[in-house]
Amino acid sequence: MPLGTLDSQPPPFFRQGPSAQSKLAVYSALALFLMVADARFGIMQPLRAALATVLYPVQWVAMAPIRVAGIAGSYMESLTAAQEKEARAHYQLASMSARANQVEQLTLENERLRKLLDLRARTQAPSMAAQVLYDAADPYTRKVIIDKGMTQNIALGSPVLDESGVIGQVTRVYPLVSEVTLVIDRDQSIPVLNVRTGARGVAFGDMSTYADGMELRYMAANADVAEGDILNTSGVDGIYPPGLPVAKVTKVERRVDTIFARIYLTPIGRVSGTSHVLVLEPTAVHIPPRPEPEPVTPNKKGGAK
């Protein structure tokens, strides 16, 4: 058969297939039918469930990075919130600790002030409460400065007490403040009386052996003084009222090469760290003056009588 006689045109239907418009119409009708059928009778639900089951691992793997990122973000947010909460808790704890310390300090000060007022009620001499401002600048003495002076009628030589006992004496008075020399100062002395035996003596400040110590001097080696004895003011000096606690005997040394015993004392008052004190008037203000000596009259023979 000659080649020119062959028909080169494909069959119109089987070779070319349906047109694009026909496919669109068929598929659209099929989709509309399936939608209506699924909406009315749910015929696609089993197929949908099977496809969801088959595709779940793929979805889980695809969503894993998002979940990891979310978990990491939540962890960082939680960590930041926990750190902020911890910082706030530490701050609140520090604030509460400071308040607790202040409350404890105020409670201690109130207790000391109550004791001070009780001591004030027991003392007959006029008194005045004062506050310790600071220690004196001289490092070789033991002195403090209080906030009362000439304007408050503080007298020179006034005894100074705390809630426990005698701590010193006013040695300088300024218009607004006063200087108090403590009983442990090396130049300070105070007449005392042994409560147990009734023996009198003089206690001196002694910083050579103990930092806050005192010494009972000029007591005979055989004097009846024992450790634990309490020494009060004797009241014979015209400054300190009698019966105020001064010191406690802590050590007694008796040597054969001296006639005096070495007696170490510890002050009963809080000579270091006290903040509130009581200033008394010297008892000499209330003691009647000494009588005038009788004049010497010559006798008949021209001598003194």
pLDDT of residue 269 exceeding 80, the answer is yes
Higher pLDDT, 108 or 15: 108
DSSP calls for 258-284: -SB-EEEEEESS-TTT--EEEEEPPGG
Phi and psi torsions of 173, nearest 5°: -125, 125
* In the chain, where the domains are located: 19-122, 127-285
Higher pLDDT, 157 or 108: 157
pLDDT of residue 30 exceeding 80, the answer is yes
Question: Mean pLDDT throughout 8-17?
Answer: 56
Question: Mean pLDDT throughout 204-213?
Answer: 76
pLDDT of residue 172 exceeding 70, the answer is yes
- The class (CATH top level) of 127-285 is mainly beta
How far is 135 from 124, CA to CA, in rounded Å?
A: 29
Contact 245, 234 (CB under 8 A): no
How far is 188 from 170, CA to CA, in rounded Å?
A: 11
Strand residues in the chain grouped as ranges (E): 127-135, 143-146, 159-161, 166-173, 178-182, 189-194, 200-206, 213-217, 230-233, 245-253, 262-267, 276-280
pLDDT in tens, 96-142: 766 666 666 677 777 777 777 666 666 666 788 888 998 887 777 88
Torsion of CA 36, 37, 41, 44, to 10 degrees: -110
Contact 242, 154 (CB under 8 A): no
- The pLDDT score that the predictor gives to residue 286 is 57
How far is 248 from 230, CA to CA, in rounded Å?
A: 5
pLDDT in tens, 64-79: 888 788 888 788 888 8
